[in-house]
Structure 1
Amino acid sequence: MSNINNNGVDMNNQTLTELSFSAVKEINDEVAATCSGGDGYINGPDPDVILFTNPGYNGGSLGVNAAGNDGVRYVGDNFNDQISSIQIVRGTWNLFRDPNYQGFLGQFGPGSYPILTGSYRDGGTNDNIASLLRVG
């Protein structure tokens, strides 16, 4: 393989930061989720939503990042039907009772929700969330 040389700068074995191209810049989490081609990701930096297993932002927590029309198809066994409080930092989110965005429970915008209301039996959101989708 030949050496790559651009304007007198040896680009072999250089990181993108070291090269400092104006066209190469750090991308934020939302753009990264979009570029990755799909679902949001769990427990990345600077989450858009933080889910908690207990009221008052206590218990186990799960951070979620996603671009519009992306989300988490299943929150995982440790959080399925266990979420009791939510902090939404960015975006508008639809919450669902079942995996794969099935069983719509409600739409929530930025804010803090220290206790989710209603139980599984009455169709509420407390201990009833399996997936979530960013819609705005």
Structure 2
Amino acid sequence: MEALRKKADDLFFEACRKKYGERCLICGRLYDKAHHFFCKGMFQHLRYDLDNGVNLCMTHHSMIHQTGEKKVVENQIIEIRGKDWFNDLRRRANNMPHSFKSKKWYQDNITRLKEYICEKNQEEKN
């Protein structure tokens, strides 16, 4: 199961790069990696939801996880992405399915993320 999680995690970060580019949403510097707006520990069902991914530079990512300025950065993200995005994502966060994190759940997410990446790769070629 650990190998599936790792593969899905890698695909999630790749898909976020394809969807949002390689720049921090807030400042435009090169991003460090995708941040899960609703933390993957408490909202594991959103772990591979691309709407929950936010590309952040090391500075803004550190502000969330290390400096206690999480609310400041979250408010900036909501301002940029919009209230509709936030309200929809919050609704999904609060509707946790009864079962997830099974082998099938990981496999389904891997398939979905691979398809998204392939679609974006095709768009880039055209």
TM-score, normalised relative to structure 1? 0.22
Question: Structure with the greater relative contact order (CA < 8 A, sep ≥ 6): 1 or 2?
Answer: 2
